[in-house]
């Protein structure tokens, strides 16, 4: 018997970052939108816990107990006095170290899959608690849709979305480490007064209306200057997408994936074609959001 769970990637349509807290994390106003790029996590009973991964970036995925999927299985098993002897297979389509919550998706996916396989019947609240322990973006991978994350991003309020938004994502030649990008944010902000992060009213209204022009006018990412400082070539990718007609171009989360909002599927295809031949990125994907959160596909 096995269970497979499909989990979406995310883009941050707003990422407002406050000053570093005493624990090293940063308070955020983080508006997540789940988009239709997915990892699939399959769990099967085994003699001992092991992780395998397949997909274009599979060689960059750690297969030991540092993998969030393995940590999710161990955390759920510990709470229920179960031996986490399970084979976790990740069919990976979300870019690795890309700022699209690929690792977080695998954590949420493994958690939901193990809960189903073991019949632990954890409540939604318990699953969300475990997700928050695993990482700041993991609760959103479980929930999907759109949500405002506060605290370090893990306290979620579900947001209304009035329509589909069309996106193009450009994957970069190399990854960026999230902690390194936050450290660069701290370095760039040294000696300046960093305001409390707050969600933009205009942005939340644009999401609720499903209005791409209004959303494009309101998107923002406070980590973008830090990501560009560590990876200056991303400015060329952003410029190529803007020139091709994207309504907005921004770094996704901590990067280095870049995200381009398009008015409709035709415009998205045009932006994607221009980016694919621009020589400024590795691969290009077209999709839309919101997408469903972690979903059991069956066994």
Instruction: Pick the stretch among 45-53, 175-183, 200-208, 282-290 that binds ligand C5P (CB under 6 A).
Output: 175-183
Question: What element of type H or E holds 271?
Answer: helix 265-276
Separation CA 111–CA 269 (nearest Å): 35
Separation CA 195–CA 80 (nearest Å): 42
- 28 is a contact residue toward ligand C5P (CB under 6 A): yes
Question: Is 14 or 178 the residue whose CB approaches ligand C5P more closely?
Answer: 178
Q: CA angle, corner 13, sides to 191 and 224, nearest 5?
A: 35
Please indicate if the annotation marks 105 as binding a ligand.
yes
Give the three-class secondary structure for 181: helix
- 179 is a contact residue toward ligand C5P (CB under 6 A): yes
Instruction: Pick the stretch among 121-129, 130-138, 167-175, 188-196 that binds ligand C5P (CB under 6 A).
Output: 130-138
Please indicate if the annotation marks 268 as binding a ligand.
no
Closest distance between ligand C5P and the C-beta of residue 253, in Å?
Answer: 10
Compose the 187-216 pattern: x for residues touching ligand C5P by CB under 6 A, - for all others.
------------------------------
Q: Which of 131, 141, 139 is nearest to 94 (CA)?
A: 141
Question: Is 194 or 214 the residue whose CB approaches ligand C5P more closely?
Answer: 194
Please indicate if the annotation marks 104 as binding a ligand.
yes
- 153 is a contact residue toward ligand C5P (CB under 6 A): yes
Q: Tokens 């599927």: give the residue.
A: 265
- 12 is a contact residue toward ligand C5P (CB under 6 A): no
Separation CA 142–CA 122 (nearest Å): 13
- Strand 3-20 and strand 220-221: the pairing is parallel
Instruction: Pick the stretch among 2-10, 23-31, 71-79, 120-128 that binds ligand C5P (CB under 6 A).
Output: 23-31
Among 19, 25, 87, 245, binds ligand C5P (CB under 6 A): 25
- 178 is a contact residue toward ligand C5P (CB under 6 A): yes
H-only helix segments in 11-137:
68-80, 102-118, 124-134
Please indicate if the annotation marks 279 as binding a ligand.
no
Closest distance between ligand C5P and the C-beta of residue 96, in Å?
Answer: 14
Q: Which residues touch 232 (CB under 8 Å, ≥6 apart)?
A: none
Q: Which of 69, 143, 134 is nearest to 107 (CA)?
A: 69
Rounding to the nearest 10 degrees, give the CA dihedral for residues 21, 146, 198, 177.
40
Question: Is 24 or 163 the residue whose CB approaches ligand C5P more closely?
Answer: 24
Please indicate if the annotation marks 161 as binding a ligand.
no
Separation CA 110–CA 188 (nearest Å): 37
- 152 is a contact residue toward ligand C5P (CB under 6 A): yes
The set of catalytic residues is 10, 137
Please indicate if the annotation marks 98 as binding a ligand.
yes
Question: Is 152 or 285 the residue whose CB approaches ligand C5P more closely?
Answer: 152
Cβ–Cβ < 8 Å for 157, 49 = no
Two tokens, residue 170: 């450009």
Q: Which residue ranges make up the site for ligand C5P (CB under 6 A)?
A: 25-26, 28, 135-137, 152-153, 178-179, 182
Per the annotation, binding residues for ATP are 95-105
């Amino acid at each position: 018997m096995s269970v497979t769970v499909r989990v979406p990637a995310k883009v941050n349509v707003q990422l407002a970052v406050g000053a570093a807290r005493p624990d090293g994390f940063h308070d955020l106003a983080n508006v997540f939108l789940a988009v239709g790029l997915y990892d699939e996590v399959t769990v099967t009973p085994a003699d001992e816990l092991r992780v395998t991964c397949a997909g274009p970036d599979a060689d960059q995925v750690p297969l030991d107990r540092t993998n969030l999927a393995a940590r999710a299985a161990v955390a759920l098993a510990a709470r229920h006095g179960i031996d986490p002897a399970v084979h976790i297979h990740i069919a990976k389509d979300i870019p690795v170290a890309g700022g699209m919550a690929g690792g977080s998706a695998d954590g949420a996916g493994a958690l939901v899959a193990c809960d189903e396989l073991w019949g632990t019947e954890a409540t939604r609240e318990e699953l969300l608690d475990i997700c928050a322990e695993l990482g700041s973006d993991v609760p959103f991978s479980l929930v999907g849709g759109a949500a405002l994350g506060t605290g370090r991003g893990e306290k979620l309020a579900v947001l209304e979305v009035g329509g589909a938004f069309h996106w193009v994502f450009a994957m970069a030649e190399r990854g960026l480490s999230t902690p390194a990008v936050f450290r660069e944010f701290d370095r760039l902000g040294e000696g300046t007064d960093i305001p409390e992060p707050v969600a933009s009213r205009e942005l939340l209204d644009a999401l609720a209306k499903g209005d791409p022009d209004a959303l494009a006018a309101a998107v923002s990412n406070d980590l973008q200057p830090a990501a560009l400082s560590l990876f200056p070539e991303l400015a060329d990718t952003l410029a190529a997408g803007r020139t091709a007609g994207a309504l907005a171009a921004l770094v996704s989360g901590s990067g280095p994936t870049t995200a381009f909002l398009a008015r409709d599927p035709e415009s998205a295809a045009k932006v994607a074609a221009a980016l694919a031949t621009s020589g400024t990125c590795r691969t290009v994907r077209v999709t839309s959001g919101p997408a469903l959160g972690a979903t059991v596909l069956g066994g």
